[in-house]
Amino acid sequence: MKKPINILAVSVLAVSVSLFVLSIGAKIIGIYINTTPSLPVGFYKVVDEPIVSGAYVAFCPPQGAVFDMAMDRSYINQGNCPGGYGLLLKSVFAQSGDTVSIDQAGIFVNGKHLPNSAQLTADPEGQPLPQYRLQAVLDDAEYLLLSDLNPQSFDARYFGLIAHSQIKQVVRPIFTWSH
């Protein structure tokens, strides 16, 4: 007698394989799929544009204790960046010549307070978060990257500035939707 086929298991496997193949194909043609609340959920295309304030960028986090902690706590995914980190998508909020201040009250760029930028002392599970501090004028190789949509985003308020060499691409949304 033949064993019955579990239709649900086969369907889940088919969907999983299809999504995996789709995500590989998307990467090959320069499409990112964002599922995090840091930026609008959806599809982003790699574009050949300069890194300017307001642009969305994909970057490899620099290796260090703060990103090791972020990966251990699943704030960021594993990936192909040095340290085994995955690429992150964030928005550029400051660049060369901008004055940036980061403290518990939030992030200020050229004296203007950025929305949703206050530091939290702990994550939703009660684990303490880094309390990064900065007062600086950015040079040509420094960028402030964060989310103004999600007050719980793991971004510059916890890890500071990102070097130009860490930024891999500028991306532009092609199809997004809200959560």
What pLDDT band is residue 88 in, cutting at 50, 70 and 90?
very high
Q: Does 28 map to a domain? A: yes
How many separate domains does the chain show?
1
Quick one: tokens of 130?
């880094």
Helix (H) or strand (E) holding 69: helix 65-72
In a domain, 52, yes or no: yes
Please report the DSSP string for 91-119 in residue order. Answer: EEEE-TT-EEEEETTEEEETTEEPTT-PP
CA distance 20 to 23: 5
Per mean pLDDT, which range of 16-20, 89-93, 106-110, 112-116 is the poorest?
16-20
Secondary structure class of 172 (helix, strand, coil):
strand
- Whole-number CA gyration radius for the chain: 19
Query: Does the residue 74 lie in any domain?
Result: yes
- Could you tell me which of 96, 97, 98, 76 has the C-alpha nearest to residue 87? 76
pLDDT band at 13 (very low <50, low <70, confident <90, very high): low
Domain at 35, CATH number: 2.10.109.10
Is residue 64 situated within a structural domain? yes
- 2 domain-assigned: no
pTM value? Answer: 0.83
Domain assignment present for 1 = no
- Bridge partners (DSSP) of residue 171 are 46, 56
The domain of 34 spans 7-177
Residue 90 scores a pLDDT above 90: yes
DSSP code, position 152: T
Q: What percent of the chain has pLDDT over 90?
A: 74
Mean of pLDDT values over 63-86: 96
Distance CA 19, CA 40 (A): 20
Domain assignment of residue 38, yes or no: yes
Residue 30 covered by a domain = yes
Q: What is the mean pLDDT of residues 160-177?
A: 96
Please tell me the distance from the alpha carbon of residue 68 to that of residue 15, in angstroms, as a whole number.
Answer: 31
Q: pLDDT digit string (tens) for 102-142?
A: 999 999 999 999 999 999 999 999 999 999 999 999 999 99
